[in-house]
Amino acid sequence: MPDGARILVARSPDRAADLVAALRGAGAEPLLLPLIDFELASDQHSLDVAFDALGAGAYAWLVVSSVTTVQALEAKAAERGTTLSRWLPGSLLVATIGPATRRFLESRGVAVDLAPTGQQSGTGLTEIWPEHQGSVLLPQADIADPRLRRGLESRGAFVQAVTAYRTVDYPADPGRSLAACLPAEPTGPGAPADTGADVLTPAQAKADIGAGRLDAVVAASPSAARRIHEDLAPLGGCRFVAIGRSTADEAESLGLAVAAVADKPTASGLVDAVIRSLAGRPSAPHQPAEETAAKDTV
């Protein structure tokens, strides 16, 4: 990676610490652009009913596809004066997608019984799902892709999908923010770290892209890809890097050119993708806005 390459990470500071550290370790200058945030699900009654049934042992499996889903369930456990690990019955089996979600669950004392090791996606989980394994609770975002539910059902599972949280533009309504409802994070080792990275607004990021001052932008979800398209396009010479195939597919459907897709949805996987996206580019200093504009033909 060119030393000092400026990489825009479309994540909020509380979710970007590992990637920021990895980018710095590779010689880049990471910057943050929070685009999406999370609020409580509009239908709390349905979530409450499903969560109570989960604790009562009504489901054979819990399928968790994101860290945010874990947080939504933690908020429900906190409402009941307990923790998620204590709420889940011992007979319950837990499946997840991606190493970050697995680590997050395990850090909360929740063992993971099934996770894809190849394609770390809903499709990857469906491919290894054991057939006819009973009832499944699938808490998801309000904008979740229905393919995971359909894939599990195609394997003989009875799936109860429920909205666990809403995805909204950053920042969330303080009165509805999921983060505001979460239990206090632990301090010391394992606690969320302050990234120290500069946080840009969409207007600042768009100006930097227009001036040729950003080398790449990293999107970690299809919803982030949509916001990048809405707020920042055209990207010009700024390379679009996707965390996985679903994010890349969304970007390409919007007309964004995808320069690289991470082989694994991890910080190191994303850094490798950023390096590939910039391979062969001249290592030149960033130019002032007026010089860049004169050469810009987009």
> For each of the chain's 298 residues, which pLDDT tens digit applies?
788 999 999 998 888 889 999 999 999 999 999 988 999 999 999 999 999 999 999 999 999 999 999 999 999 999 999 999 999 999 999 999 988 899 999 999 999 999 998 777 888 999 999 987 889 999 999 999 899 999 999 999 999 999 999 999 888 999 999 988 887 665 443 344 457 889 999 999 999 999 999 999 999 988 899 999 999 999 999 999 999 888 999 999 999 999 999 998 889 999 999 999 999 654 444 433 332 222 222 1
What is the identity of the amino acid at 171? P
Residue 236 amino acid letter: G
pLDDT on residue 295: 26
Bond preceding residue 171 cis, omega within 30 of 0: yes
Cα distances (angstroms) measured from residue 188 to each of 68, 77, 185, 191, 193:
22, 23, 10, 6, 10
Antiparallel, parallel or unpaired: β 135-141 and 29-32 = unpaired
pLDDT of the residue at 185 = 62
CA–CA distance, 62 with 120 (Å, rounded to integer): 17
pLDDT of residue 142: 94
CA distance 32 to 20: 9
Report the relative pairing of strands 61-64 and 36-40 from DSSP bridges. Answer: unpaired
Q: Cβ contacts of residue 3 below 8 Å, gap of 6+?
A: 27, 283
Beta partners for residue 135, in sequence order: 158
Does residue 79 sit in helix, strand or coil?
Answer: helix
Are 69 and 165 within 8 A, CB to CB? Answer: yes
Question: What pLDDT is recorded for position 119?
Answer: 78
Q: Pick from 204, 261, 164, 218: which is nearest to 18 by CA? A: 218
pLDDT at 294: 26
Residue 131's pLDDT is: 86
Strand boundaries in the chain, DSSP class E: 6-9, 29-32, 36-40, 61-64, 93-96, 135-141, 158-169, 198-199, 216-219, 239-242, 258-261
Question: What is the token pair recorded at 189?
Answer: 């080792």
Contact 22, 132 (CB under 8 A): no
Residue 43 has a pLDDT of: 97
What global pTM score does this model have?
Answer: 0.80
Q: How far apart, in Å, are the Cα atoms of 228 and each of 10, 21, 263?
A: 8, 22, 21
**Measured between alpha carbons, how far is 124 from 291 in angstroms, rounded to an integer?**
47
- Torsion angle of alpha carbons 167, 177, 121, 248, nearest 10°? 40
Torsion from C-alpha of 104, 110, 113, 117, nearest 10 degrees: 10
Q: How far is CA 218 from CA 31, 97, 133, in A?
A: 10, 20, 37
CA dihedral 150, 156, 162, 163 (to 10 degrees): -30
